[in-house]
Amino acid sequence: MAAHAEGALEHVPVAATASAPAAAPPEERFELEPILTAIVQGHVAAEERLPGQQPIVVPHVWYSDTGDVLNVELGKAYLPTDYTITFEERVSDIGDLLISYTEQRTPIYRVDVWFEGKDIFFYFPEERGPEDKIVPKQPQEAKHLPKRDLGNGRVLVSAGHGIYYNSRYKDWRAQRDPVNRVVEDFWTPSFARRLAKFLQERSDAEVIRARSSDATRHADSKMPWYYMAARYHIQAMLPEVPSIWNSPGKSALGMEERDQDIRSRPLFANHLGVDAAIHLHTNADARPEIRGVRVFHHMKSPESKRLADLALCYMKESLSSNDFYSTFPVARQANPKDHGENRLATMPSIIAKLGFHTNKDDADAIQNETFQTLTMRGLEKAYRLFRQGNGCAPFDATYSDVTVMSDSTAAASITFAGFPSFPVRLESVVAECPSGVMCWPIAGYFKDPTAPLTMSHSCLAKEPFTMKWNVRFIDADGISARTTAVMHCKPKAKTPS
């Protein structure tokens, strides 16, 4: 046994998959509905009206019979003249408000917003997105790909926002305001860079970035290219396809090019025929206490939901491997929502929101390289397991108790759950050692996932004793699983003289 000492080990359990949270029971729904209605009413009353919206909006909020969906009726008074990304964000905010209000007690899966009993696309049918959202499974999808090795994935990694031209103020500006020293537009590329690298190295995927990572200057704005929104990068790459970056959507407040930027990302993904689109954002809420990682997926795409659920699962697994971020909140389930970035895509498409920049702790994490690496490492693993058709199973390990006769050896067997990448390293610290006995940490290295996983133990004893170790397995991705190892040492049976 090699002696290998390490620092204190905390007893941090490996991320367990939370079972689907229970829907609100009927009596609680009746109690909550007027409260939720009042919350939406207060929120909407405080909003500045968009062109076409009426001054008085009377919302009504009620649960579905199943208790896991909330309905919000806003009436025709809330309808704007034109469908804009600003309007889409307003509707999205109402959903976020209800999701975060209910999540502690009786989480909901989805918020459906109605305008006199119809969804928004009844009024703006051209915004509905690709008609058939039943996303085909991998083998069928393959035919959409250009000639290349079909074994490798192609992914659009899309860092949210970036500098755009505001035609009302006639200037170039970020899409999000600074909060807690964070401007979302300038931090999402740090996540995108890491995700791209992990996808290339670990998933063997071809990665296309929606925003440029170039440090040279964009001619019109004089800004570095890496600050610029995707719209301008795509325009430079595909000047002959203006339908992608110069989409005809309407906008209010001089934000035509900001709206085009949102649309350009899924339209670019469709043009490329990638097999997944991953959009990276941070989140915002008027209440500074709201925090955590969330993932949103396309409303009608089961494959998007599968990718989104895996994204949460493996980001949580990855964060749990780190002592500092092991308790960082991660949503228990992904939510469907009609974000333009997902809705207009014809492939599995998700939005990962990597903490709330409106929360102080999350804002610190967003700027932290370790947090960026941990979340993106998990997101890559999610994509890899998505491609393989695997589910959510966090890395876990068991170490069998072993009984050893003095001056001989016996093997403990090790079992892994989840999808660790080999080689897997074993480190330990001695947790229990009887006085008068020399105890050493155990250490190991497992290269072959198909070979039986065992550790050999030996001891010398005149009296029986027990030793314990806190054990940590670390896989090739850097994901760890913790358990304990126990050895009982027995003296040799007395031989007759």
CB of 279 to Zn ion, least distance (A): 8
Q: What count of Cα atoms within 13 Å lies in the side-chain half-sphere of residue 282?
A: 35
Say if CB 108 and CB 282 are below 8 A apart. no
DSSP state of 312: H
Beta carbon nearer to Zn ion, 174 or 382: 174
Beta carbon nearer to Zn ion, 160 or 355: 160
CA 491, chain centre distance (Å): 53
Choose among 314, 312, 320, 344: nearest CA to 127: 344
Q: Which range of residues in 45-53, 214-222, 275-283, 445-453 is near Zn ion by CB under 5 A?
A: 275-283
Q: What count of Cα atoms within 13 Å lies in the side-chain half-sphere of residue 241?
A: 12
Beta carbon nearer to Zn ion, 96 or 303: 96
Beta carbon nearer to Zn ion, 154 or 281: 281
DSSP state of 375: H
Given candidates 133, 194, 279, 281, which one binds Zn ion under the rule CB under 5 A? Answer: 281
Q: Decide if residue 160 touches Zn ion (CB under 5 A).
A: yes
CB of 34 to Zn ion, least distance (A): 32
Beta carbon nearer to Zn ion, 355 or 444: 355
Beta carbon nearer to Zn ion, 261 or 427: 261
CB of 243 to Zn ion, least distance (A): 24
Q: Which residue has the tokens 């931090």?
A: 187
CB of 105 to Zn ion, least distance (A): 27
Please state, in angstroms and as integers, the Cα–Cα distance from residue 474 to each residue in 17, 443, 444, 477, following that order. 19, 11, 10, 8
Residue nearest to Zn ion (CB): 281
Contacts with 361 (C-beta within 8 Å, 6 or more apart), sequence order: 291
Q: Decide if residue 211 touches Zn ion (CB under 5 A).
A: no
Beta carbon nearer to Zn ion, 185 or 477: 185
| Stretch (H or E) spanning 164 | strand 164-166
Beta carbon nearer to Zn ion, 347 or 352: 352
CB of 89 to Zn ion, least distance (A): 9
Q: Which range of residues in 276-284, 399-407, 428-436, 483-491 is near Zn ion by CB under 5 A?
A: 276-284
CB of 351 to Zn ion, least distance (A): 8
Rounded to an integer, what distance in angstroms lies between the CA atom of residue 96 and that of residue 111? 9
Contacts with 127 (C-beta within 8 Å, 6 or more apart), sequence order: 83, 120, 121, 249, 343
Q: Decide if residue 340 touches Zn ion (CB under 5 A).
A: no
Rounded to an integer, what distance in angstroms lies between the CA atom of residue 493 and that of residue 497? 12
Q: Which range of residues in 155-163, 214-222, 311-319, 357-365 is near Zn ion by CB under 5 A?
A: 155-163
- Count residues near Zn ion (CB under 5 A): 2
CB of 452 to Zn ion, least distance (A): 48
Beta carbon nearer to Zn ion, 160 or 420: 160
Q: Which range of residues in 154-162, 198-206, 260-268, 323-331 is near Zn ion by CB under 5 A?
A: 154-162
CB of 152 to Zn ion, least distance (A): 29
Say if CB 220 and CB 231 are below 8 A apart. no
Say if CB 473 and CB 445 are below 8 A apart. no
Contacts with 332 (C-beta within 8 Å, 6 or more apart), sequence order: 18, 20, 21, 103, 107, 312
Q: Which of residues 81-100 bind Zn ion (CB under 5 A)?
A: none
Q: Which of residues 30-89 bind Zn ion (CB under 5 A)?
A: none
The residues that touch Zn ion, with contacts defined as CB under 5 A, are: 160, 281
